[in-house]
Amino acid sequence: MDRYPSETRIMLALKKNGKLSLKELSEEIGISKMAILNHIQKLEGKGLVERFLVKSDVGRPYFVFAATETSREGIANSTGELLEGLLEFLEKSGNRDLVARFLNERYGAVRLEYEKRLSRYPREEKVKELAKIREEEDYYPEIKETGKGSYELLEYNCPIFQVSRKFGIACSLESQLFSSVLQMDVNTTHRQVNGSDVCRFLIRQRSI
């Protein structure tokens, strides 16, 4: 994740590891503690990071930093307020089913795009290529191989957070999307809309 901007990498580190000190963040990101502090202060100003004072029996008190609840609404989502207003309008005007129809059609189109891109890869490479697609779409994914033909896909950002929070179908459609394009079983264990700091998908070869 070194190619991401420093502030994004700090947010991802906090979402992944929980509370971290300046020293720990400096080691994780690979820049000086002073540079980390400058970025932290900007993130605090945006309401994305908060600090906590830690007192110990030995040594001086020090601060640790954590991602705030607000940060779950998406590092990369700059249209959140507008989208939130649109969803509230559709819901209040009795058009909730219209959103569900839109989401189904959208994921149908996305599935075709994913399938076209993944079609050139062998089965064992499809999951890794899916993670690359999700990275391009600002989900900040991390892929881990957990066994022969089994993977764990972690996504630290949710650009569709506002939609998923009001319309749970968006989450289930994502799992269906992955299962369809990979032709594998996909189980979702963690969701950011449910309070987790990450969306976690377990991907396995389909049982015969």
Tens-place pLDDT, residues 31-67: 999 999 999 999 998 888 999 999 877 778 889 999 8
Q: How far apart are CA 92 and CA 60, in angstroms?
A: 54
Q: Where in the chain is the domain with CATH 1.10.10.10?
A: 6-73
**Domain 81-204 class?**
alpha beta
Q: pTM value? A: 0.74
Mean pLDDT of 187-193: 92
CATH 1.20.120.430 fits 6-73, yes or no: no
Give me the chain's average pLDDT, please.
Answer: 87
Q: Contact 141/134 with Cβ under 8 angstroms?
A: yes
What sign does the CA torsion over 135, 34, 66, 41 have?
A: negative
78 — pLDDT class (breaks 50, 70, 90): very low
Instruction: Kindly list the distances between the CA atom of residue 108 and the CA atoms of 9, 115, 117, 174, 201, in Å, as whole numbers in the listed order.
Output: 32, 11, 15, 11, 20
